[in-house]
Structure 1
Amino acid sequence: MKLRLFPQETAGLQALAHMSEQILAGTHTLAEMLGAGRNDFSELAESLRQHEAASTADFATLLTGMRTSFVNPLPREDLYALGQLLNETSEILSGAGEIIELYTLDRNPNRVSDQLEILSRQSELTIGAMKSLNDLDSLEDYWLEVLRLAKRADHTHRVVVAELLDAHSPTTFAKYKALTDQFAAGSRQMRAIATQVGSIIVKES
């Protein structure tokens, strides 16, 4: 029988899983925004703010649990770091929605959708990882796959910026670059989460 490394107290892990689910929900809402008309932007941007608020509430639950629990499923500093990174990712996605709304970006290049697709895939993998933090041996593939996707996201971002620069005036370029930069930041944030998980794997091995 495999030795169980962690106690059965899993409230902190559940909070992390809920936060990762809010990120995925945010990517789905952003996908709707990319295909929506400007009249729908306000409602969808509000949905993103609600996802962010739910993430922040889960982060508060995590912090409360860490303060009141005698034994946590992971070291407190690791739980806090993961929670902070997840919550910041929801903030980034909410910011992307605000950019679409404020700049009325209703003709987004296809490669921007490619960026969001990569970010969504990273989010899906992260949900699985947050639900498996009590079985670290199963997470090495997650770590490596998210890092691979992050490299692909970096390349896609560079291509998007180059194509935008060729196709648009300086003002329009600046608007769309703000959005593509925001998606790139989200992907880098998911990479940071995976790197944090990798650090936990190394420390706990």
Structure 2
Amino acid sequence: MGLSFKSSDSAFFDLFSQSANHLVAGIDLLAKLVAAPREERAVLRDSLHEVEHEADVTRHEISKKLNASFVTPLDREDISELAGVLDDCMDYADEAGDLIVLYQLEELPAGIIEQVVQLQRCAELTAEAMPGLRKMEGLRDYWVEINRLENYGDRIYRDMLAEIFEAGLDPLTVIKLKDIIETLEKAMDKFEALANTVESVAIKES
């Protein structure tokens, strides 16, 4: 019988789930923010910052535990990569909320709201998938659906860019909207990167 150099410690998986739950909470706040009147957005942005800070704390806990562990349940580089991409998803969601408040736009285009709806779905799927890392079970549907959502998100992104450039808006408004749309697209790309990382880990561990 071969020797196993993998730990059975479940704490990393608990922390991954915790990170994913932060994403759900944060992007739910972002959805409320994009639908809110301009004067109500700052309070929601502040709440989003708090969730982003909690996500940072969880990321640091993962790093601290990784540095203190001689053996781990997954390869060390995979744990670090998963933690990093989970954090990136949150960072871009937080940045988008910040931009919306700082730019003081009035009603946001429907396409931006739709981008956030897709991010909500990605966050929910991620939170549902994270427990599957323990036994590497039931994960294929997750990464397939995230990739489908990202492709759909790409179409929304392209349509939104065309819409704002053809709408006859003043150049400053176009720049502001483009910044927000691109930041939301980066968040979607990070969810795809996360799903691809989960796929790679699942294949390696199977």
Give TM-score scaled by structure 1 length: 0.93
**For the Cα contact (< 8 Å) 2:35–2:113, is it kept in 1?**
no
Q: C-alpha separation between the residues in 1 aligned to 2:83 and 2:60? A: 9
Which range moves more in the overlay, 149-158 or 104-113?
A: 104-113
2:79 is the alignment partner of 1:98: no
Amino-acid identity (%): 30
1:202 match: 203
Distance 1:12 1:106 in 2: 42
**Match in the other structure for 2:124:** 124
- Give the conservation status (yes or no) of the 8 Å contact 2:22–2:55: yes
Alignment of 1:9-20 (within 5 A): 9-20=9-20
1:66-94, Cα deviation, whole Å (9 max, x unpaired):
12233322111111101011111111111
Question: How many pairs align?
Answer: 201
Code of the residue aligned with 1:189 in structure 2: it is: K
CA distance in structure 1 between the aligned counterparts of 2:24 and 2:42, rounded to whole angstroms: 20
Distance (whole Å) between structure 1 residues aligned to residue 180 and residue 163 of structure 2: 14
SS, match of residue 132 in structure 1: helix
Q: Which runs of 4+ in 1 moved over 4 A?
A: none
5+ residue gaps, structure 1: 1-5
Question: Which residue is 1:54 aligned to?
Answer: 54
- For 1:3, the equivalent position in structure 2 comes to none
For 1:182, the equivalent position in structure 2 comes to 183
Name the counterpart of 2:88. Answer: 88
CA contact (8 A) 1:36 1:106 kept: no
Q: Which residue of 1 aligns with 2:155?
A: 155
| Cα distance in 2 between the residues matched to 1:138 and 1:113 | 30
| Structure 1 residue 165, shift from structure 2 partner | 1.0
Residue type matched to 2:20 in 1?
Answer: S
1:7 Cα deviation from its structure 2 partner? 4.9
Q: Which runs of 5+ in 2 are unaligned?
A: 1-5
Q: Which position in structure 2 is the counterpart of 1:169?
A: 170
**What TM-score comes out, normalization by structure 2 length?**
0.93
Please give the residue correspondences for 1:59-78 in structure 2 after superposition, counting only pairs within 5 Å.
59-78=59-78
Mapped contact 1:122–1:149 kept (Cα < 8 A): yes
2-structure distance, mates of 1:48, 1:106: 20
